[in-house]
Structures are given as C-alpha cells and as structure tokens.
Structure 1
Amino acid sequence: MTRFYIIRHAEAEGNLYRRVHGWYDSLITDNGYRQIAALAGRFQDVPIDAVYSSDLFRTRTTAGAIWKPRALALHTRSDLREIGVGAWEDRTWGDLERHDAQELLRFNHSVPEFRVEGAETFDQVQTRMKRALLDLARLHPEQTVAVFSHGTAIRCLQGALRGLGPGEMDALGHSDNTAVTCLEVEDGQARILFENDNSHLPEEISTLARQKWWKEQGGRAADANLWFRPLDMQNEAAWYRAARQDAWLDIHGPRIPFDGEGFVNDALRCWRQDPAQAVVCAMRGDETVGVLQLDLERHAGQDVGYIPFVYMTPQHRKQGLGVQLIGQAVSVYRPLGRRYLRLRCAPDNAVAQRFYRKYGFIKVGEDKGARITLDLLEKYIGYEPNQA
C-alpha cells in the first residue's frame, strides 16, 4: 500500500490577478508564501519518503514546504501539470465571460464538449493524472509520497478515482491553495481518506475565504472579473484627461496646478507605442472602472516595465479590483523580458502606498520632479529557473 498526500500549489498570480493559468508558468504571491509556511508546519511531524510535483514554478516552490526540511530530492513530472488551456492561457476570467461565455460555461461544468484551441480535454487530464498516480504507487510501494499539483487537475483525479467522468464532477468540492487530499493505493485501487482539507490555513490567508465563485451553484464566477480594452486616445482623450484630473485632485487637491494637456500628450506618446496595450480601460461588464497606462520604452534598457498611471473610478475603489490592473501590467511586460514593474507614488498618498506595499512593491528611490517629489516603487516580476 502507498499513501499519498495530494497537495494543491500555494496562491499564485492567476489566483490573485483573476487570470487563466494552466501551463502558463506563474509566480507565487506574497500570501502564497505565507500559505507555504503554514503547510510546512502542518507536515512538520508527518513522515514522507518521496516528493513529486508538476514541473511548473508554483508547484515546485510549494513543494519546498516538505522536501527542503527533510533534505529529500524533488522529482518533477509534466504529467502532474494543470489542465492546459491553449488559447485561453493568461487571459482574464472577465475576458472569457465577455467573449467566450459558452465555452466558459462548458469549462465550469467540466463537460466532454469543452474545446479550446490548443487545450486539453477533461478526459485527457483525468487519464494522465490517474496514470501518474498509479505509476507513482508502483515506484513507491509501502511508502508515503507527497504530490504537488493543481486545482483542476486534482479535481479531475478525484473524479476519476470515483468513476466520475467529465460532466459528472459538479458535486465535487474545490480545493483551496495548499489544501491536502489524502488517499491510499493498493493493487491498483485507490481509497480516499480525506480531501481538500485546508485546516492549516488561518482564514486571513486562505484564498477561497476571500473569493465567492466556488460558492455559486454550477461553478459560475460570482467575483468581479475585469477585462481590458484599448482606450482610443484619438477619440477618448477627454475621458482620459478627466480620469487624470480626478486622480490629481484626489491626491494633491487644488494647491498644485493640474497640467491636463501635458498628461494627455504623454498618454498619446505611450499609446502610439502600442495602441492595443499601452493605454487600456479596465472593464467590469459594460462599465469602465479604471485605466492602466504603460510606457513600453521608458527604462526598457533596465529590464523595467514602467507604469505612468493606474486609476480606479471613485465608486470602484477599495473593492479589491485594482490588483487586476497590476496583473495586466505583468501580462504585458513579462513576455517583453522585463523583470521589474516601476511606478511613482506620492509619499502622502497613504491609500495608494498601502495598496502597493500589499502587492509587493518596495521603495527604491525618489523622483524629484519640477513640482513635487514622488516615491519610486518597484515590484519584481521576473522568473529565475532555479529560484524554486
């Protein structure tokens, strides 16, 4: 008999930024590292003989909670990966709700008819996950093995072990980040002892505790998932100027003159670099809720992705939406090889300062402009192959 602990990876960028990450190799969030520490405490006195994970960064990093304290080897296998979603990779859930709602419904119900260009089917994921489990049982008879995988992949495995095919898994629960499923395999047969247990996570660091989608019957997304559209600076410059003015007055008040023309001209310069990505509106359904401006040329030689403007409309602030704009910046800059995000923030803008600190930005200097001095904040978004 082989005992398995099947563990989902810690909170990663896709969970935080509300983006679809299957085989996309995302990083662990700051909260995810707190979850890893809690997981390590849970397993402190549990005997483990071998550790396996998918070959993606988020699982390999989470696996460190078990293999590092024991000085075990970490074995990686691509057949433990999340479901590959092909053309959906790194799109926002809001974008899919907007532009591919029917296929998203099929995905949420794990039906056999789910088809996306370049993506796996649920049947394929069930087959490879069950095959991987039985292979590991063959390799480790009479041992205890920790296996690190992904939410949908683990759910497919749980369904396969119950004899539930695609389209029959709606009643299965959803796994929190670092949640644990325990099962035993003997003579090719598996017995589930418990599943999706996140009792080691205090509520304040649980990912599912702050999300609603998993509570909705049928798996419908109930959280506010944003999508992004290009802001046409030739026809929407007045809207951009108004957003800039609102942000300026909110931070500085009327004591420092607002240079609307200067801001619009700078946005036009950025927009011409890439009209599709450099200046975008954050959308919640049909409603514009924010603006993100990127300068694709500034600081490019320093491996920096510069963000001149992040804005949420007043009625949509303090709702946890702003981090999705940071996720959009990561999505644009990482493929360009940028290793850092950089932006400026007024030192007396306490709300913005707290927001950026919460999501990993640190002060690296000051920018002494003609009228005011601003803090320079940076966030690391690079990826080192051996970092895990």
Structure 2
Amino acid sequence: MLRFRTIDPENDAETVCRFRRDSFAVSFGHMYEFDEEDYLQWLRDMAARFPDGFVLAEEEGNPVGQLELSIREYEGKTIGYVNLYYLTPEYRGKRQGQELHGYAQRFFNRHEVEEYHLRVSPTNKPAIKFYRKIGMEEAGPEVGGKVVRMKGKLGN
C-alpha cells in the first residue's frame, strides 16, 4: 500500500527531477527540453497552490512514484488535470498505478470537478493502455500530433 505526502521542492528536488527526467525518457525517448531550474520553480508554485495534488508516493518511506494534479480551465469549463502519473520502473504494471489513480480521483472529487484530462505521447503505448483501462478516452491530438489529450469522468 502506497503512502502519499506533499512534495517539498527543496528537500525532494533530486528525486522529483530524476522522476521527471525518466518520465520524459519513457514518453518521448529523450529529455524533451527538460530544464531543472524551470521545473523546480514551477513545482514550487504549483505545490503551494495544490499541496494535496503534488505528492510523492512512498512505500516503506522510499519514493516510488509521483503525482502532479491541478485544477484548470479548459474550453470554458473547470477540469482536473494530471500533469504527471509516475511510477519507478520496478513498480509499473503491478497495480500501484491503480493506487495513483485512486488518489487522483479522490483529489478531483474534493475539488468538485466532473472530468479530468492529461496529455500523453502517442508512442507511450503502456501509458495509453493504462489510461484506457481506467476509463479514459482519447480526445484528439495536440501540439502538432506530439501528444494525445485523454479525458476521463469521475467515477470511472
């Protein structure tokens, strides 16, 4: 069972940057313009706004995953947004993704949104398979086809 705690951008900087770099490598095959300083500043700002949405997932005190969840406006309505679902390689495909998803759904319920979105690389087939499994559907390509927007309804 995973435990979740708010990210401390100063003390967790090494871990969250390592996780974010790996997420880019898995998704895009490279670091895709990753700037550590910009990321940490963004993380500080977002964790201050959504402390229960920017969390590390830990098992026995060791970080094994990360969630970055926020609320934003999209096409005139308020939606939940998943900036990052992340598990370390040894935890992928072993049901911990369901735990991350459960946490995300509870976060979105607390913020009273009806749907949530995320973007995923079209080449990241395992992630797309997981998102479909949890009830999300493709809403179409974005950024010139470099990403696919997925959306889900609460209760899935």
Which TM bucket (shorter chain)?
0.7 to 0.9
Give the structure 2 partner of residue 268 of structure 1: 44
Q: Distance in 2 between matches of 1:278 and 1:266?
A: 14
Helix, strand or coil: the match of 2:30?
Answer: helix
Q: Distance in 2 between matches of 1:361 and 1:229?
A: 26
* 1:162-185 deviation digits (Å, cap 9, x = unpaired): xxxxxxxxxxxxxxxxxxxxxxxx
Q: Which amino acid aligns with 1:250?
A: V
Unaligned stretches of 5+ residues in structure 2? none
Helix, strand or coil: the match of 1:303?
Answer: strand
Structure 2 residue corresponding to 1:292, chosen from 41, 64, 67: 67
Give the structure 1 partner of residue 6 of structure 2: 230
Pair 1:253 & 2:29 matched:
yes
Structure 1 residue corresponding to 2:122, chosen from 324, 344, 347: 347
Structure 1 residue corresponding to 2:85, chosen from 302, 306, 310: 310
Q: Which amino acid aligns with 1:232?
A: D
Q: Which has the larger radius of gyration?
A: 1
* 1:173-212 deviation digits (Å, cap 9, x = unpaired): xxxxxxxxxxxxxxxxxxxxxxxxxxxxxxxxxxxxxxxx
The answer to whether the Cα contact below 8 Å between 1:334 and 1:382 also exists between their aligned partners in 2 is no
Q: Distance in 1 between matches of 2:66 and 2:19?
A: 8
Unaligned stretches of 5+ residues in structure 1? 1-224, 384-388
Give the structure 2 partner of residue 362 of structure 1: 137
Q: 1:335 to 1:278 in 2, by over 3 A?
A: closer
- Mapping for residues 79-158 of structure 1, pairs under 5 Å: none
Q: Distance in 1 between matches of 2:138 and 2:40?
A: 27
Identity of aligned residues (%): 28
Give the structure 2 partner of residue 65 of structure 1: none
Superposition deviation, residue 279 in structure 1: 0.9
Q: What TM-score do the two structures reach when normalised by structure 2?
A: 0.88
Return structure 1 stretches of 4+ with deviation > 4 angstroms.
none
Structure 2 residue corresponding to 1:327, chosen from 102, 110, 114: 102
Q: 1:367 to 1:229 in 2, by over 3 A?
A: same
What is the number of residues matched between the two proteins? 155
Helix, strand or coil: the match of 1:299?
Answer: strand
Q: Which amino acid aligns with 2:68?
A: Q
Give the structure 2 partner of residue 373 of structure 1: 146
Helix, strand or coil: the match of 1:232?
Answer: coil
Q: What TM-score do the two structures reach when normalised by structure 1?
A: 0.37
Helix, strand or coil: the match of 1:254?
Answer: coil
Structure 2 residue corresponding to 1:281, chosen from 56, 63, 69: 56
Q: Which has the higher strand share?
A: 2
* 1:273-304 deviation digits (Å, cap 9, x = unpaired): 033x12101122222210001123x2276231
Name the Cα RMSD after superposition.
2.2
Q: Distance in 2 between matches of 1:375 and 1:299?
A: 18
The answer to whether the Cα contact below 8 Å between 1:291 and 1:312 also exists between their aligned partners in 2 is yes
